[in-house]
Structure 1
Amino acid sequence: MIPDFPDEPEPSERRHPLNSLWRLRRYLHPYRSRMIYMLVLAGIATAASLAVPRLIQAVIDGPISNGDTTGLWLLGGIVAILGIAEGVVVWLRRYIQAKVALGLEADMRSDLYAHMQRLHAGFHDRWQTGQLLARATSDLGSMRRFLAWGLIFGLMSIVTYVAVVVQLLTLHLWLGLIVAISAIPLFIVARNFARNFIAASRAVQDQQGEVANIAEQAAQGIRVMKAFGRAPHIQANFDEQANILKDLSIRKMTISAKSWALFTVIPNTTLAIVLVGGVVSVANDSMSLGSLVAFVTLQLMLIWPIEALGWIIANGNEAMTAADRVQDVFDTEPSIVDPENPVAVDRSTITGHVRFEDVRFQYEETDTPVLDGVNLDIRPGETLAIAGTTGSGKTTLVSLIPRLYDVTSGRVTVDGIDIADMRLTDVRTVVTMAFEDPTLFSMSVRENLTLGRAEATDDDIDEALRVAQAEFVHDLPFGLDTRVGEQGLSLSGGQRQRLALARAVIVRPAVLVLDDPLSALDVHTEELVERALASVLSGTTAIIVVHRPSTVALADRVALLENGTITAIGTHRELLETTPAYAEVLSAEAEEVTA
C-alpha cells in the first residue's frame, strides 16, 4: 500500500525547500568565476545557433533564388564554421561544468560528513544510518545535478526562448505573437507540475532512505539473520519497502509524464499552426520563403528547451527537497562543543583525579532521569569498578567522562577542571574509553590500533598487544598490515575486544574508562589480560564498568549504582559484608554470565 503524501503544513510552520536550497548557495562562491565562464560560453553557443537560421534565410532568399553558386558556397562555409565553433564551445562548457559539478558535490559531502562527526552521540542514537547515507549520497547527487547543470541549463533556456521569440516577432509579427502566447499554457502546466512534483519527490527520497537503512542493517546483521533463520522475514520486509519505493517512484513519474506530454503537445500544436499560417503568408507574398524556413527553424529550436523544461523543474524540485533533507542535518547544532574560553590543559601534568559533583543526566527523549545526584571521588591512579543491575545507568555514567554526552546538571572534573571547560581534543587525550561492543574499522590492524595515537611506535604497539593478550595479530596473513573486514567481523568477538582494549591502552591516557571490555574473553584469557592490565593501571586512573564478578579483581574500590545514584562505595570485601544489594547484583551478573 502506498502511503499518502503528508499534508503540507502552513507556510508559517514549514521551511520551504527553496529556502533550504538557497541557504546552500555558499557552496557556489568558490566556483563563481567558472560559472560565469560557463554562462559566457553558453551565451556564445546560443548566439552561434541563433545566427544559423538567419544565414539559411539569406541563402534561400539570395544565392538560391538568384542562382548565385559563389554566394552559396560562402554562406554555406559560414554556417559550417559556426557549427564547428558551437561544438567546440559546448565541449569546453561541459568540461568546466563537470569540474564544477563534481567539486560542488565533494565540498558538500565533506562538510556534511564533518558536521555529522561533530554531532553528539544522542543524535546518532536517534537517526537511522540509512537515512544519513541517503542524504550523503543520492540527495547530494540531486543537488549537484541541479546547481551545476539544471540551473545553468534553465537560465540559458529562458534566454534562448526570449531571444528566439524576439527574432520570430521581427520575421512575422502575427506568427511570432502566436508562439509568444503559447507560453501562457506552458507556464500553467509548469506551475502545476512543480506544485505536485515536490511532494512526490520528497516522499520518494524519504523512502529511499528507508530502503537504504534496511539494506545497511541487513549487511551488518547478516550473521544474526542466518543464525536465527530470519533471512526470509528480512527479505519480505525489504521487498515491502522496495515495492513502496517502486510505487512512489511510479507515482512521481506519472506526474512527470503527464506534464512532459503537455510540454510536447503545446509547442508541436503551435508549430502546426505556424506552418499553415506561414504557407498562406508565403502564398500571399507577405513573407518570403527564406523567412518562413528561418521562422520554422528558429521555432524548432524552442522545442528542446520546452520539452526539457519538465526535466529542469523535476530536477529543481528534487534538488530542493534534497536540500531540505540535508538541511535537516546541518540545522542540528552540535550540543557538545568546545567552550568559548577553554582552559589550557597540559597532559603531562594531569594526574587523573576524577570527581562527579551532584551529576544529573536525562536523555532528551525521556522524562525520567538516568542519573540523579551522583557524587563520586576517584583518586589519581585508583581503579574504581562501577557495579549495578542491568539498565541502572553504568554505561551512561562513564560515557560522561569523555563527553560522549554532557551532564544535564552538576559537573565532572579532572584534576579540578570541569571537562566542559576543556577543548574536546584535550578531554579525549586525557580520557580514553574501551567499549563492551568494540568497533573496528575496515582498515589494517595497525591503523585500528593507532587510531587514537598516530605517532605510536612499534614498541608501543607491542606493549599494548601484550597487555591485551592480542599477539594473535602477528599470526594473521599480513601481520599488523592485515586488513580486517567491516566491523572487524573477520575476527572473533574476543579478538575484537582485545584489539579494542589494546587501542585504548596504547593512548596512555590519564583516565582509562573500560565498559566491561573483557566480557567476550574466556576465563583463562581474562585472567592473563587482568594480570597484564593491572600493571598498566598502576599509574592510571581507571573506571571499569562491571558486568562480570571476576572483573572486580582489577578494582581498588567498588561503587554501587542504584536508582540513578551511588548508594555504596568501598572495597569488594567491605561491600559484600555491609551491602546486601551489592551481593545481589554480583549474583545476578554471575547468573547472566553462566546462563
Structure 2
Amino acid sequence: MYSTAPRSAPGSEEGEMTLEKSERAHKASQVNLAAKLSKKDSTAGSTGKEIMRLLRLAKREKFPLAMAILCLLISSAVTVSLPTMIGRILDAANGTDKEDEERTVFGFPLKVFFAGLAGIFVIGGIANYGRVVLLRTTGERLVARLRSQLYRRTISQDAEFFDANRVGDLISRLSSDVNIVAKSITQNVSDGLRSTLQCSAAIGMMCYTSLQLTSVIGLIVPAAVAGSYWYGRRLRKLSRDLQKAIGSMTKVSEERLSNIRTAQSFAGEGIEMRLYNDKIRNVFSIGKKEAIAAGLYFGTSGVIGNITILAMLGLGSGMVANGSMTVGELTTFTMYAGYAGISAYGLASFYGELMKGVGAASRVFELLDREPPIKATKGMPVPHARETITFENVKFAYPTRPAVNIFEGVNFTIPPGSNVCIVGPSGGGKSTITSLLLRFYDPTAGSIKLGDTDIRDFNLKSLRRHIGVVSQEPVLFSGTIAQNIQYGSPHATRQEIVQAAVRANCSFISDFPDGLDTFVGARGAQLSGGQKQRIAIARALIKNPSILILDEATSALDVESETLVNETLAKVMQENSTTISIAHRLSTIQRSEFVIVLSTDGTVAEHGRFAELYMDPNSALSKLLKQNENAPVKPPTKVELPPPEEELDQEDEEYQDEPSNDNKNSNKL
C-alpha cells in the first residue's frame, strides 16, 4: 500500500502529503518483458540471410514473377538498343555524298528502318505494361497473404504477449511494415533487376564502342560503389528506427482516440496534442537524418557523375577531331554512359530500398517467428465440462511481474452444476481465477483440474468452447446486435439468437426499429451499460456453456440496470451450468449457494455456504462485507498544485483554457 501520511517539508510549516512505495511496489518494479518484441538487446540476423528469407516470401508467386521478368527483359532490350540506333542514324545522316534513298541503317532504307523501330517501341511499351501489371498484382497478393499470416500469428499469442506489447506497435507491423516488405520483393526487385540489366548492357556497349573512354569512367566506379554501400547500411538502421517510431506514434493515437471521451471530459485535448506531437517530432527527427544521408550520397554522386561527363566529352571531342571516332559513335557512347549512370543510381536506390525492406522484415519476422507458449490446438478435446473444478495448491504470478505472487497455494473445489461466488479484497486475485480457468496463463506451481484431468492436457480451443464469460466491462464489436450475440456461436441460427436474447432478458431490442439488426457502434457506444451487459450475457448463453463465469458483471451499473441484469442472472443460475460469480456486492453474493473468500496473502481464507458464513459475525466474509459497507469517507484535502507547465506549441494554443479573471493568479483548489 502507498502511505499518505503527512511529512514535513523543509522550510514549510504545513505537512506535505507523500506517497511512499510499499514492499509490493518494489517487487512490482522487477519487470519481465521476455515476451516483448524489438527488445533493446535483440540483434538482427545477418543481412544475407534476411534478404534470402525476404525473397523466399515470393516463392508462391514464381510464375507471375517469371512472366514479369520476361517482360522486363524485352522492355530493357528495347531501351538499351536505342543509343545504338540513334548513333547509326546520325552517321547515316552525315553521309552527305549519298542521296536519301541510298542511305541505310543496318542495311535497311531509312523509311523501312524507322517503321521497324516504331514497331519495336510498341512491343517495348506492351512489355512494360505487362511488367507493371504483373508486379502490382503480385505485390497485392503478397501483402494480403503476409498480413493474413501475421494476423493469425498475432491473435494466437498468449496473454503475456499482449501484456508486454502495445496494440499500436502490432498494428504498425501489420500495416506499414508489411507494405514495405511487399514493395521490396516485388516492385523494388524489378527495378533492381532492370537497373542491373541496363547497367551491364550499357557498360558492355561502352567497351565495344570505345575501350579508351570506358577506362576513364572506370576510375570513378570504386568511389560510387563505396558510397552506395555506406548509404545502404545507414538506411537500413534508420529504416528500422523509423518503423519503431511510427509504431510508437500509432500506439499513442490508437490508445488516446479509443478513450477520447475521457480526454475531452477533462479538457485534455492540449495534453493529447502535446503527447502526439512529441511522437511526430521523433518520427520527423529520424526522417530528417534519412534525408541528410540521402542528400550527402546523391549530392556527392551527382558531382562525381558530372565530372565524369566533362572528362568523357573532353577526351571524346579530341577523338572525333583526329578521326578515331565518329560523331554517331560519340553520341552512342554518351547515351550509354548516361544509361549506365542512371542505372547505377537505380542500383543504389534499389540497395537502399532493399535495406529498408530488411529493416521492416526483421520486425515482421520477429512476430511471425514467435511461438506462443500455450498452444491453442495441442491436447485432447474436452468430452464434457460438467465436472468438478479443483484448484490444487495453485501458485501464480503474472509473467511480467514475476516477483509479485498473486496466489501462494490456493486450494478449493467447485462441484459440477453448483453456484459459487468468489469474493476477496481488491487486488486479491478474484479475476485471476477467470484468467487461469481460461488458460490465458498457466499456474507457476500446482494444478487446475476438470474432473481428474489437468486442464493443461486439454485442447485449449475445446476447453474455451465449454466456458462462457461475462466480464465487468462488456466488450461489443462494431456490427449488429445479432452479430455480437452470434459471436458466441458462429453457426447459430436466427432462432437460436432470438432464444439467447430472450434468456438474457434483452427485451429492449424490441424498442429498436431494426431490432436485432441494429448497429451498436464502435465498442457498443450506441447502447447503455445495462444493454451492453445483457447482450454480453446472451453472447455467453448462446454457446450453452458448461461453465459460466460472471466477472463482476454488475459492479459498474446503475441501480436500474443492475436490477434488470440481476433478474437475468437469477434465471441463468437456475440452469444446469456451473456458475462462478466474482463479486464484491452483497446483492450479487447472496444469489450464490457457496462462497469462496480469498485473502490478501494469496490463499483461501474460508469457503462454505453463503447463509452460514453470512450469519457468522466472525467469518472472513462478514468482516469483508462490513469493511466495504463502513469504508470511511475522508474529507477533501487542500492540495497545492505545481506551477503550470510551459505553454504548448503554437499549434496547440486553441486547446488552452483561459483562466477566469478572479482566479488568474491562483494555483490552489
TM-score range, shorter chain: over 0.9
Matched, 1:543 2:573: no
* Deviations 1:484-534, CA, capped at 9 Å, x for gaps: 222112222222222212211221100111111122333344334333323
Partner of 2:393: 358
How big is the shift at 1:208? 0.8
Q: Contact 1:203/1:248 (CA < 8 Å) preserved in 2?
A: yes
| Aligned match of 1:3 | none
**1:585 pairs with one of 624, 634, 640:** 624
Q: Which residue of the other structure, out of 471, 476, 479, is the alignment partner of 1:435? A: 471
Q: Does 1:185 align with 2:215?
A: no
The one of 52, 77, 85 aligned to 1:55:
85
After superposition, give the CA deviation of every residue in 1:337-368 in whole Å (9 maximum; x if it has no partner): 1465x324334xx4242122222222222212
Q: 1:195 to 1:379 in 2, by over 3 A?
A: same
- 1:474 alignment counterpart: 510
* Structure 1 residue corresponding to 2:528, chosen from 464, 480, 492: 492
Aligned counterpart, 2:487: 451
**What is the rounded CA distance, in whole Å, between the counterparts of 1:312 and 1:42 in structure 2?**
16
Contact 1:201 1:318 in 2 (8 A): yes
Deviation at 1:286, TM superposition (A): 0.8
Residue 138 of structure 1, CA deviation: 0.8
1:33 match: 63
Distance 1:18 1:396, change over 3 A: farther
The equivalent residue for 1:23 is 53
Equivalents in 2 of 1:549, 1:376: separation in Å?
A: 22
Q: What is the rounded CA distance, in whole Å, between the counterparts of 1:116 and 1:589 in structure 2?
A: 41
> Which residue does the alignment assign to 1:299?
337
Which of 517, 521, 544 is the equivalent residue of 2:553? Answer: 517
TM superposition shift of 1:86 = 1.1
Q: Deviations over 1:175-231 (max 9, x none)?
A: 112233322111111111122222222222111111111111121001100112212
Deviation at 1:171, TM superposition (A): 0.4
Say yes or no: does 1:116 pair with 2:154.
yes
Residue 296 of structure 2 corresponds to: 258
User: Paired residue for 2:116?
Assistant: 78
What SS class does the counterpart of residue 372 from structure 1 fall into? strand
* Cα distance, 1:212–1:306 mapped onto 2, change above 3 Å: same
How much does 1:535 deviate? 3.1
Conserved? CA contact 2:418–2:593, under 8 Å: yes
Deviation at 1:568, TM superposition (A): 0.7
Structure ID, larger Rg: 2
Return 150-159 or 376-385, whichever deviates more: 150-159
**TM-score of the pair, normalised by structure 2:** 0.83
Aligned mates of 2:626, 2:265 — CA distance in 1: 30
3-state SS of the aligned residue for 1:103?
A: helix
Aligned residue pairs, count: 584
**Structure-2 separation of matches of 1:99 and 1:369:** 53
The letter for the 1-side match of 2:305 is P
Say whether the 8 Å CA contact 1:197–1:252 is kept in structure 2: yes
**Cα–Cα, structure 1 residues 100 and 355, in superposed 2: closer, same or farther, change >3 Å?**
same
What is the distance in 1 between the residues matched to 2:53 and 2:447?
Answer: 37
2:128 counterpart of 1:90: yes
Could you tell me whether the CA contact under 8 Å between 2:550 and 2:579 is conserved in 1? Answer: yes
Separation in structure 2 between the aligned mates of residue 79 and residue 486 of structure 1, nearest angstrom: 61
Alpha-carbon distance in structure 1 between the residues aligned to 2:124 and 2:134: 15
Q: Who is 1:555 aligned against?
A: 592
Q: Return the match for 1:420 from 433, 445, 456.
A: 456
SS at match of 1:400: helix
Residue 9 of structure 1 and its aligned partner are, at CA, apart by 8.9
Structure 2 distance, partners of 1:16, 1:493, is 53
Secondary structure (helix, strand or coil) at the match of 2:554 reads coil
Once the two structures are overlaid, the 10-residue window that deviates more, 174-183 or 528-537, is: 528-537
- Partner residue in 1 for 2:569: 533
1:160 alignment counterpart: 198
The aligned residue for residue 36 of structure 2 is none
Equivalent residues of 1:431, 1:509 under 8 A apart: yes
Q: Counterpart amino acid of 1:536?
A: V
Task: Verify: 1:101 aligned to 2:139, yes or no.
Answer: yes
TM-fit CA distance, 1:465 = 2.5
Stretches of structure 1 lacking an aligned partner (at least 5 in a row): 1-7
Q: Cα–Cα, structure 1 residues 229 and 375, in superposed 2: closer, same or farther, change >3 Å?
A: same
Change (3 A) 1:139 1:280: same
- SS across alignment from 2:405: coil
- Range with bigger deviation, 428-437 or 75-84: 75-84
1:393 paired to 2:429: yes
Query: Per the alignment, in what secondary structure is the counterpart of residue 213 of structure 1?
Result: helix
Residue correspondence of structure 1 range 324-363 to structure 2 within 5 A = 324-338=362-376, 340=378, 342-347=379-384, 350-363=385-398
Structure 1 residues 543 and 49, CA gap change in structure 2 (3 angstroms): same
Which piece of structure 1 moves more, 460-469 or 200-209? Answer: 460-469
Structure 2: distance between partners of 1:43 and 1:317: 25
- Asked whether the equivalents of residues 338 and 423 of structure 1 are also in contact (C-alpha less than 8 Å), the reply is yes
Could you tell me which residue of structure 2 aligns to residue 5 of structure 1?
A: none
Against the structure 1 CA distance between its residues 199 and 582, is the aligned structure 2 distance closer, same or farther, given a 3 Å change threshold? same
What is the rounded CA distance, in whole Å, between the counterparts of 2:584 and 2:332 in structure 1?
A: 85
Contact 1:371 1:397 in 2 (8 A): no
Task: Give the TM-score normalised by structure 1.
Answer: 0.93
SS at match of 1:554: coil
* Identical columns (%): 27
Matched, 1:275 2:313: yes
Q: Give, in whole Å, the separation in 2 of the partners of 1:497 and 1:9.
A: 42
* Structure 2 unaligned regions, length at least 5: 1-38, 103-108, 635-669
